[in-house]
Amino acid sequence: MTSLLSDGSWDHEEVHVRTTRTGLPVVFAIHSRGGSGVALGGCRLLTSSNADDALKDAIRLSRGMTFKAAAAGLQHGGGKCVIAAPTPSLTGAVRRDTLLEVGDMVEEFDGRFATGADAGTDTDDARVLRERSRHIVGIPDLEKGWGDPSALTATGVIVAIRAACERVFDSDGLAGRRIAVLGLGKVGADVARTAAEEGAQLYVSDVDLQKKAIADEIGATWLGPEDLLGAETDVLSPCALGGVVNRYNVAGLRCRVIAGSANNQLADPTIAALLRRRGILYVPDFIANAGGMISVAGELDGYDEAEAMTRTLAIRETLQDVFGASHALAVTTVEAAERLARTRVGARLGIGSEQ
C-alpha cells in the first residue's frame, strides 16, 4: 500500500492514496487510532475525478472524526475513506467491483481502520464491502448493533437543536419554532419529521425534487436551497453535504441557530467568527452529528443500546459546556469545542491537553 506519511500540517498518523483497477482514486486518512487502536469513519463517494479533492476531503473529515469521538467520550480515533468518481454514482457491476476492491483495501489495515456507509454510499454498499473485509460497521442484518446509524444521528441533531434553542431562546421546546432543514436524506428527513411532530414550523429543501413528497407528508413549506438559506427562521439545520455556509451567503443568513448533521458545514474556519459577530449560535457539527459514530462504535465495543442512547443524549451536556466556554473565553463555539475535544483526548491518553 503506497503511503504518504503525515507531516506537521496534516497531523495524521497515516494517509494512503490508492487507485482502483478502473482508475478511480481512493484515499484513506487515519488521523488518530485513539486509545482503542482503531480509527473509525465512513466510506464516502465523492463526485469528482480529482485525487486532490478526495485527499482534501479525507484529511479534513478524518480530523473531525477524531474530535467527534473524543467529544462523545469514545475510545476510538478518527479516519475516513473517500472514493472519487466523475459521475454522481457508480452503478451496476462497476459499482460492485469498485466496492469489492475497496473492501480489500480496508482489510489491509488489519483492524486499524473500520468503516461503513457515508455520503454517496448506503448500507447495501456496506454489505458489499463486508464481503471482503471484517471491519465494516453499520449493517442492520449483522444483528450486533443499531444497524443503520442514521436514526441515532438524527436523535443527536434534535438534542443539539434543543440545547441551542435553550441557550438562545431560554426554552428547548420546538413547538412554534421556525426550523429550516436543508437536505432530506435519512437523517434530514428524520430531523424534519421529529420537529414537525413536536409542532415546529418547517421549511425544507433538497436538490432531489422527489423529496418534496416528504414536505407534503409533514406539512412543511418547500423552498429552493438558496431561498431556504436566506429564509427568516430560528434554526437552520444543514443535513446535506458540507461547505453550505460560506463567505458569499453568511451575510444573508436570517437564523439565530445553525445545528445540523452535515460534516464541515462551514466552508472555511473563518466563517465561525463571522457567525459569532452576527449573533448566530453555531453548533459544531462534530458534536451535533455524533450519534451515528456512537452507534457504530458500539458494534466494536460490545453493543449496549441503552448506553448508545445515553451517550447520544449527553450531547446536550457537552454543548452546554461548549457554549459556556465560548462565552467565558470570548472564542467561537468551534474553538471551544475543539479545546474540549483535545482535553478529552489528553485525559484518555493520560497526557496534558493541547491549548
- Catalytic amino acids? 80
DSSP track, 127-186:
HHHHTT-S-B---GGG-SS-SSTHHHHHHHHHHHHHHHHHHHHS----TT-EEEEE--SH
143-149 own/partner pairs: CB under 8 Å, 24+ apart: 144/299, 144/303, 145/295, 145/296, 145/298, 145/299, 145/303, 146/295, 146/296, 146/298, 146/303, 146/305, 146/308, 147/123, 148/117, 148/123, 148/186, 149/116, 149/291, 149/292, 149/293, 149/295, 149/296
- In Å, the largest CA–CA distance within the chain is 56
